Amino acid sequence: MPLQLEIVTPEAQVFSDEVDSVVLPGNIGEMGVLPNHAPLVTTLLPGELSFTKGGATTELALGEGLVEITHHHVHIMTDMAVSDAEIDEAAVEAALQRAKDSLAQKSNAEEVASVEAAIAKSLAQLKLKRKRRNL
């Protein structure tokens, strides 16, 4: 029985299909998931997710979130999930620069945390985009 992968963000259901394997950016490092994985719950850090279906690998940039793995299901709830084609490098870089600039002015711990989260998300997108180009 293959693995049922479901990715949702607050804006939309990004992906829902059967896949052969998933690699996701877990809280304590990259984690590969194959069918019949032990039930596991962990948080996600901004990074890259890739899944293989019939030999073809697809990659997505993920934001922070939560993943629930059971034997045949992977449920990913995240605040961002974009594919390579959807990333506009210039726009992301501009956003990154803006976030870095505003970081200098923020004093409130909470604001700093949210800006840092935005930076991590932008970096994850850039990393995926650039990796693709270097191949």
Q: Which residues bind other proteins (CB under 8 A)?
A: 6, 8-13, 26-28, 38-43, 66, 68, 70-73, 75, 77, 114
Of 19 and 129, which CB lies nearer to other proteins in the complex structure? Answer: 19
Q: How many angstroms separate the CA atoms of 64 and 82, rounded?
A: 13
Minimum CB separation of residue 84 from other proteins in Å reads 22
Least separation in angstroms between CB 53 and other proteins: 20
Nearer to other proteins by Cβ, of 89 and 111: the residue is 111
Minimum gap (Å) between residue 26 Cβ and other proteins: 6
SS (H, E, C) 67-81: EEECCCEEEEEECCE
Indicate if the alpha-carbon torsion angle 72, 120, 94, 130 is positive or negative: negative
H helix or E strand, kind and range, residue 56: strand 56-62
